[in-house]
């Protein structure tokens, strides 16, 4: 489809819809196929719905998760109908697992999907078509959508090691992800500055490792403050979050970043983990890359990592565990006799291989478990600097630094990969160069437009395409202490990454996205989501008042 024509056609139908008072379909991520028409559907005061019988009550559960939002936007009460209903959900087994069809016509709304996830995404699209808080039953434009995602992995990573935001905020983040059809929550739970997950066999990980002597982290000219800062998730909390995410078709992927970024763990168990247990170790008060890494040549440290994995597996009942692997200085290994001896034993002169040998032992530990407990491993792309042949070849490389090149190298080695380029997908970085922007990383070049315009898989040879699992936005929290600031930086850039993950590249266009995102501001406001105001400089209603704006 020609984009310019589509944009003009969309603008024309939008004008028509505005004239009729019908809400248009400013859906994000843009559906893979959508046509709008001049007619519309008005919700009756009591809207009937009909749900298919499907694997117990799984479709009913999906409907229940979103029915409150839909009833509110429709300005109508939703009641179960018997024969012909205003909203009908029907199973179409021929569709893909996340695909859906959504047809709005003057006679009602019909949704088809093969799986509960498809119904969920159809209802999220419908919800985005509805006004916020209409005074009377809403009218929406007629539309026919057939939709399915470009990538299977559409992720968001939250670092709660540096700062922890708490269960309610994590649920809010999951709601934001769900609205934009993201399906992997990568939970970065351990850092030099804090260990945030209860491990029953090693209670000091949280008794000691979850507390530090500063709230703000020191960095360059900034000294750490002296405010005690503390927090972690119990295993019950984790189960609650995993269940909340599951209801929104989001798999939670835990990251235990080892053997680097482990100063908090080393401070908790120096006798097991430290390369130099004779020295003092504390949970780190600074930003950056600590040299206080685990001693991978100590069998007790390897055993501890295995024990931690044993507690992770039942908490996260999905295919993947992320073991980190980024920014692991080898300085202390190079000064440690046991590490030197182990390097000689494995026949390498590359200290990075000590890290890969450590992972090899952990992978073997997992492989020796019953099938149901098997997990595939994800690593940051620095792992490519070692001999990856010693690791299971079903691992995945998460490409962040020099991401395109690293992902290509992973694919050429036969490994799967996920694109999470530091620039521009680290959406904790400043989103605007204005001097009034709050302090965070970067110079403000990761604008909404820059994030949107990243092209995943640019120039990737066709024969390697199936190695690319998808895309992910990352959020590092060195500077980010409050939930408000987290949301401010996340939104709406999360929506830009979500569109890259879902919409075919040839249909992506920033000016069209920008027009659609502007209409999402009332949704954010109604849900009490904070957001960067940069993208919303013009009122959404300008579109109807000044129609020429629509065609820009």
Per CB under 6 A, 380 contacts ligand ACM:
yes
CB-based contact 312:321 (threshold 8 Å): yes
CB-based contact 173:151 (threshold 8 Å): no
Nearer to ligand ACM, 165 or 400 (CB): 400
Q: How far is the CB of 418 from ligand ACM (least distance, A)?
A: 12
Q: How many angstroms separate the CA atoms of 380 and 324, rounded?
A: 6
- Helix-helix angle 116-129:167-179, to 10 degrees: 80
Nearer to ligand ACM, 307 or 327 (CB): 327
Q: How far is the CB of 380 from ligand ACM (least distance, A)?
A: 5
* Closest to 256 in 3D by CA, of 406, 359, 135: 359
Q: How many angstroms separate the CA atoms of 174 and 338, rounded?
A: 44
Nearer to ligand ACM, 400 or 479 (CB): 400
Q: How far is the CB of 283 from ligand ACM (least distance, A)?
A: 18
Q: How many angstroms separate the CA atoms of 48 and 77, rounded?
A: 8
Determine phi and psi for 121, rounding to 5 degrees: -70, -35
Q: How far is the CB of 257 from ligand ACM (least distance, A)?
A: 8
Q: How many angstroms separate the CA atoms of 495 and 181, rounded?
A: 9
Q: How many angstroms separate the CA atoms of 147 and 213, rounded?
A: 50
Tokens at residue 527, please? 């849900």
Nearer to ligand ACM, 63 or 400 (CB): 400
Nearer to ligand ACM, 78 or 397 (CB): 397
Per CB under 6 A, 144 contacts ligand ACM:
no
Q: How far is the CB of 356 from ligand ACM (least distance, A)?
A: 17
Nearest residue (beta carbon) to ligand ACM: 326
Q: How far is the CB of 327 from ligand ACM (least distance, A)?
A: 5
Per CB under 6 A, 156 contacts ligand ACM:
no
Q: How far is the CB of 420 from ligand ACM (least distance, A)?
A: 8
Q: How far is the CB of 480 from ligand ACM (least distance, A)?
A: 14
Beta partners for residue 191, in sequence order: 194
The DSSP element (H or E) to which 300 belongs, if any, is helix 299-315
Residue in 144, 327, 404, 549 binding ligand ACM, rule: CB under 6 A: 327
Give the number of other CB atoms < 10 A from CB of residue 321.
Answer: 19
Exposure string over 21-54, b if 16+ CB within 10 A, otherwise e: ebbbbbbbbbbbebbbeeebbebeeebbbbbeeb
Nearer to ligand ACM, 116 or 259 (CB): 259
Contacts with ligand ACM in 98-127 (CB under 6 A)?
none
CB-based contact 373:313 (threshold 8 Å): yes
CA distances from 281 to 131, 189, 274, 293, 301 (A): 55, 20, 8, 11, 16
Q: How far is the CB of 65 from ligand ACM (least distance, A)?
A: 32
Nearer to ligand ACM, 326 or 409 (CB): 326
Unique residue bearing structure tokens 């603008």:
11
Residue in 326, 404, 437, 549 binding ligand ACM, rule: CB under 6 A: 326
Q: How many angstroms separate the CA atoms of 125 and 309, rounded?
A: 38
Nearer to ligand ACM, 399 or 543 (CB): 399
Nearer to ligand ACM, 269 or 379 (CB): 379
Unique residue bearing structure tokens 């997908």:
425
Nearer to ligand ACM, 16 or 423 (CB): 423
Nearer to ligand ACM, 380 or 513 (CB): 380
* Closest to 205 in 3D by CA, of 158, 160, 256, 266: 266
Q: Judged by CB under 6 A, how many residues of this single chain contact ligand ACM?
A: 4
Q: How far is the CB of 446 from ligand ACM (least distance, A)?
A: 14
Nearer to ligand ACM, 86 or 382 (CB): 382
Residues 400-429, one symbol each (x = binds ligand ACM by CB under 6 A, - = not), give x-----------------------------
SS3 194: strand
Q: How many angstroms separate the CA atoms of 303 and 363, rounded?
A: 12
Q: Residue 80: which residues within 8 A CB-CB, separation 6 or more?
A: 48, 49, 50, 51
Binding site for ligand ACM (CB under 6 A): 326-327, 380, 400
């Amino acid at each position: 489809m020609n984009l310019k024509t589509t944009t003009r056609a969309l603008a024309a139908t939008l004008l028509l819809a505005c004239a009729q008072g019908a809400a248009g379909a400013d859906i994000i991520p843009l559906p893979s196929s959508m046509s709008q028409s001049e007619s519309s559907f008005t919700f009756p005061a009591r809207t009937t719905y009909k749900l298919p019988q499907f694997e117990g009550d799984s479709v009913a559960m999906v409907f229940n998760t979103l029915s409150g939002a839909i009833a509110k936007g429709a300005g109508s009460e939703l009641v179960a109908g018997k024969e012909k209903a205003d909203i009908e959900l029907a199973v179409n087994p021929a569709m893909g697992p996340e695909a859906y069809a959504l047809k709005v016509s003057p006679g009602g709304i019909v949704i088809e999907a093969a799986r509960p996830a498809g119904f969920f995404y159809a209802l999220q699209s419908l919800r985005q078509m509805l006004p916020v808080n209409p005074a009377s039953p809403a009218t929406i434009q007629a539309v026919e959508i057939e939709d399915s995602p470009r990538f299977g992995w559409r992720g968001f990573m939250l670092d709660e090691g540096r700062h922890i935001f708490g269960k309610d905020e994590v649920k809010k983040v999951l709601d934001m992800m769900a609205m934009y059809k993201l399906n992997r929550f990568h939970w970065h739970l351990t850092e030099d500055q804090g260990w945030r997950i209860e491990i029953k066999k090693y209670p000091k990980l949280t008794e000691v490792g979850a507390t530090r002597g500063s709230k703000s982290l020191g960095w360059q000219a900034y000294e750490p403050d002296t405010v005690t800062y503390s927090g972690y998730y119990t295993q019950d909390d984790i189960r609650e979050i995993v269940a909340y995410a599951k209801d929104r078709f989001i798999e939670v992927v835990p990251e235990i970043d080892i053997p680097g970024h482990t100063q908090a763990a080393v401070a908790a168990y120096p006798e097991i983990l430290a390369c130099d247990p004779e020295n003092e170790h504390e949970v780190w008060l600074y930003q950056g890359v600590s040299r206080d890494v685990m001693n991978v040549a100590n069998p007790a440290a390897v055993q501890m990592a295995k024990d931690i994995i044993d507690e992770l597996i039942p908490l996260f009942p999905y295919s993947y565990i992320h073991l980190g692997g980024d920014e692991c200085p080898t300085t202390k290994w190079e000064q440690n006799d046991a590490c030197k001896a182990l390097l000689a034993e494995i026949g390498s002169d590359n200290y990075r291989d000590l890290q890969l040998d450590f992972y090899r032992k952990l992978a073997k530990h997992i492989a020796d478990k019953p099938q149901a407990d098997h997990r595939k491993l994800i690593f940051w792309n620095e792992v490519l600097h070692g001999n990856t042949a010693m690791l299971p070849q079903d691992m995945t490389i998460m490409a962040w630094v020099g991401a395109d090149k690293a992902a290509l190298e992973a694919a050429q080695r036969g490994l799967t990969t996920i694109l999470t380029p530091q620039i521009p997908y680290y959406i904790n970085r400043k989103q605007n160069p204005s001097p009034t922007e709050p302090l965070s990383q970067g110079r403000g070049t990761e604008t909404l437009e820059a994030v949107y315009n990243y092209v995943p898989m640019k120039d990737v040879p066709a024969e390697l395409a199936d190695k690319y699992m998808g895309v992910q936005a990352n959020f590092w929290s060195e500077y980010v202490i409050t939930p408000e600031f987290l949301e401010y930086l996340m939104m709406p850039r999360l929506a830009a990454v979500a569109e890259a993950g879902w919409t075919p590249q040839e249909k992506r266009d920033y000016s069209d996205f920008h027009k659609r995102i502007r209409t999402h501001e009332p949704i954010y406001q109604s849900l009490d989501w904070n957001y960067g105001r940069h993208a919303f400089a013009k009122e959404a209603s300008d579109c109807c008042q000044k129609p020429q704006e629509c065609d820009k």
